[in-house]
Amino acid sequence: MEHRCSQQGFRVRKIRLTEGLRGLVAPRAYSIIMFGALLCTLTVKFFHAWRMNLVGEYFVWILSDIAVLFGIELVLAVACFLRPRRSVIRIATITATIVCTWSVVNAGWLMRTGTQVLPSVLWPVLYDPIGTLGMVGGNLVKMPILSIALLVSSVIALALFVLVLVKPLPPVYCIKRFHSRITISLVIVVMAAIVYGALATRHSGHAVSDELRYNCQLRAITSIIPSDSTWLTDDDSNQPRRQIPTFAQLDSALTLKKPRSNHNVVIVVLEGVQYGYTSLGSNRGLTPYLASLAQQGVEFTNARSSIAHTTKAMFAILTGRFPSPSHDVAEAVPVVEPYAGIASILRHKLNYRTACFESANGSFESWPGLMLNMGFEKFWAREDSTDPNSYVGYFASDEFSMLGPIVEWIKDDERPFFLVIMCSVSHDPYVVPKWFETPAKEPLDRYRQTVAYTDKFIESLDVELSKLNLADKTIFCVISDHGEALGEHGLFAHERIGFDEVLRVPWVIRAPYLVDPGIKISQPVSSVDLTPTLLSLMGFETAAAGFDGANVLAPIPSDRKVHFSCWTREGPAGFVQGDHKFVYSPMNKALSIYDLSKDPRELVRLKLPEGRTRQITDEIIAWRKNSIFQIRQQAVGKMSIFDRWVCIWMGRVCYTHYDKSNQAATERSYSSAVYDALRAMGRRLAGVEPSPPQNQP
């Protein structure tokens, strides 16, 4: 009996404690959640200021957050005071939860990229949810402390949200105390806004301050609702005037000179390799083989990516035309006829075999559709690998796993070939295969490992070409799709960044008997120049083809403008002309000018007269809007591609998935022994001792 009474008393105390806690928290849930959002934002901005050694800028960064978040909480409090109904409390709690959720998402994004999150970054979730979630998960695993902090705060906010939503509890007000709280909050909001207005207009000289002095919630809203014609709009994407020609339309404009080259062509596209992290730049010992290729041919020391996004950059590389600088994957929507690019031209004009091999997920951004549009006969991706042990991270795979299929494809036919190889290991989260080296802990060290690893893969590929007696008969080209920011301006990754750590890329061409060794071209060039340059090397007259790029082995006009853009409409765009770089940011509505000859790190912004600034800004905006192109395809459709991929599209967005049922019928099976042999070659080239053989049972 006493035991039952004791249990009953414990239950009563537990119920009273729960009800007491609910009575304390539930009526003020929206305030608690809002202050949680503010704390999350202030904490992550302080951390970024500390790690970038910019603590002196921190006060300016948080003024807008204090004004906006206190202001939202003030409005919610007044609404619940004037209308103390359950429905109003629910709406206030939902609003606070949305604001807090965005603060948590922004914290994670800021930690990873150094920029604040915008709604446009969620766009990939629509067309590639699996790949996007895998990318997010991979980054969370690499940042465990941050991940735990964000998840715990999210769980607490969610618990409060559910508690109030299920059973809201109207607050009991002390009128005098409430008026005092509202007055204090209002003073904080007004003072923060006044001080922000006074300080925010003072340029600090740090690019990251231009980004972080804004409140992320307000920034997100303004990015959804463009305020003027300087933005790309839905009308620009839905009603484009530009058309990309097909091969049939360009056929007559391409003529061959006599004699012409019969070289094979191999293009290796590096994933996110910054020029400064190669032996061509400041890291002299990191990519020795790439440096040796440059000595054997021509190096473009001032090359830039046309758009700092892989799918867009690949389109520019392979067509010689600017991709659509719109936040979509229009280039990968399957079209009725392939675009006129180097693959379709060599295939139909010279009867070349064409293939693209990539070590990443082919489903990401529908690359089978992209390669179909480029005119390739064969496409191979990570999904085609028969060795799951070759997978590296959520996105990539061991580049050496491609060598076996590549060699077999080359040996299948005696005809000359055009081969594109897309690397992936140097993509975030920068993890090398364990056989090459134990992955480092710090992101910068991991990145350096992946760059060195990729250089060994390039060497191994060249060794295979030599074994087949093809090295002297092959144009060997290496270029990066874009670079990668690693904190140089307080920013990371490559989205919405217009600095040269993202735009400047390594580009070398070795062309035996066609290009003299040891040439360096220092004028500004672009990845969009690759196709007309290689076609000219092979004997084509390209002047009448109307490429956006040019043959940059020929004389380059000194006043030529090399345009570039970011993928998202909120990101910067601009051009390089001679030693000067002009960058327009639609978010800040500001034009930045740099003299790269005196300021290669882009630290000092120059000023131009207002009229000249307006003229250049209008030119950049017009170029960006006019570069969006039409898609020759019905609005909605479904298509089988390369026998084992199924592509579904709607408008300028598409999704591709792999059909495993056709894999066995369309692909050869490469034994693990082949992969082991290729990896052993990689170890020898890398100077890594092979692992001792294990005892067999």
Q: How many CB atoms lie within 10 A of CB 225?
A: 7
pLDDT digits (tens, 9 = 90+) for 377-432: 999 999 998 887 888 888 899 999 999 999 999 999 999 999 999 999 999 889 99
Identify the pLDDT of residue 207.
76
Residue 600: is the preceding peptide bond cis (ω within 30°)? no
- Per residue, what are the HEC states of 418-450? EEEEECCCCCCCCCCCCCCCCCCCCHHHHHHHH
CB half-sphere exposure, 130, CA atoms < 13 A: 11
* Single-letter code of the amino acid located at 334: P
How large a percentage of the chain has pLDDT more than 70? 82
Distance separating alpha carbons of residues 564 and 572, to the nearest angstrom: 9
Tell me: pLDDT of 233 over 70.
yes
Distance separating alpha carbons of residues 261 and 418, to the nearest angstrom: 13
Band of residue 666 on the pLDDT scale cut at 50, 70, 90: very low
Please tell me whether the overall predicted TM-score, pTM, comes out greater than 0.95 for this model: no
CB 362 within 8 A of CB 379: yes
Residue 563 pairs in a beta bridge with: 575
Distance separating alpha carbons of residues 259 and 239, to the nearest angstrom: 44
Segment holding 422, helix H or strand E = strand 417-422
Cα–Cα nearest to 166, from 72, 82, 93: 93
Distance separating alpha carbons of residues 325 and 567, to the nearest angstrom: 6
Average pLDDT over residues 590-618: 93
Distance separating alpha carbons of residues 474 and 346, to the nearest angstrom: 14
Q: Average per-residue pLDDT in the chain?
A: 85
Domain ranges of the chain: 12-224, 267-556+627-685
Average pLDDT over residues 667-679: 48
Structure tokens, 518:
């040891």
Identify the pLDDT of residue 664.
45
CB 176 within 8 A of CB 63: no
Looking at the domain 267-556+627-685, which fold is it?
A: Alkaline Phosphatase, subunit A (3.40.720)
> Which range is least confidently modeled, 171-180, 267-276, 672-681?
672-681
Identify the pLDDT of residue 669.
42
Distance separating alpha carbons of residues 179 and 174, to the nearest angstrom: 9
Checking DSSP bridges between strand 353-358 and strand 417-422, what pairing results, if any?
parallel
Cα–Cα nearest to 653, from 224, 237, 220, 231: 237
pLDDT digits (tens, 9 = 90+) for 200-216: 766 566 777 888 889 99
- Per residue, what are the HEC states of 188-221? HHHHHHHHHHHHCCCCCCCHHHHHHCCCHHHHHH
pLDDT digits (tens, 9 = 90+) for 572-586: 999 999 999 999 998
pLDDT digits (tens, 9 = 90+) for 321-371: 999 998 888 999 999 899 999 999 999 999 999 999 999 999 888 999 999
More confident residue, 633 or 229: 633
Instruction: Give the position of tokens 């990668």.
Output: 484
> Which range is least confidently modeled, 133-137, 524-528, 621-625?
133-137
Band of residue 694 on the pLDDT scale cut at 50, 70, 90: very low
Average pLDDT over residues 637-660: 89
Buried b (16+ CB within 10 A) or exposed e, 598-614: eeeebeebeeeeeeebe
Buried b (16+ CB within 10 A) or exposed e, 563-577: bbbbbbbbbbbbbbb
Distance separating alpha carbons of residues 603 and 692, to the nearest angstrom: 51
